[in-house]
Amino acid sequence: MTKHSPHRRPDKVHGWRHIVAATRYSMAGFRRLLDESAFRHETMAFGVIVILFFAVGAKLSDHVIAFILFLLIAAFEAINTAIEELVDRISPELSAMARHAKDLGSFSVFCLVIANGAWAAYVLGSALFGW
């Protein structure tokens, strides 16, 4: 493997080395996302939902859907964070376009927060009140 400067892209790798490299990049992204308080709050909320689902005897399918919704919120949170970092790099001054880009990313996460909350309310309401 050749050394590369921070200003040069790494050489392309193929096969199993590509899978290893992609996994390493994904884990670096996950570690970066852990720096975001919103993601930590969403992760804690998911933990509470899992505990509540177990407490009320939710079905396996309810847990699977909650997990998929959590993965979606994590993905959107990662994309939102990437948008914010790019906007801050490209447009460090305040501008309407930068604000709109950040607001739209935030709205996409908000939509999934609502979806997660609605699913949790539905499952808990069905278990507790027979909705």
Label residue 10 left, alpha or beta by phi (over 0 means left) and psi (-120 to 50 means alpha).
beta
Report DSSP letters for 101-117, one per residue: HHHHHHHHHHHHHHHHH
Is the Cβ–Cβ distance between 90 and 18 less than 8 Å?
no
Please return the burial class of 66, using the count of CB atoms within 10 Å of its CB with bins 0-12, 13-18 and 19+: buried
Is residue 77 part of the annotated active site? The answer reads yes
The stretches of 34-95 forming alpha helices (DSSP H) are: 37-56, 60-90
Instruction: Write out the H or E segment, with its range, that includes residue 26.
Output: helix 16-33
Catalytic residue of the set 36, 77, 84, 93: 77
**What are the catalytic residues?**
77
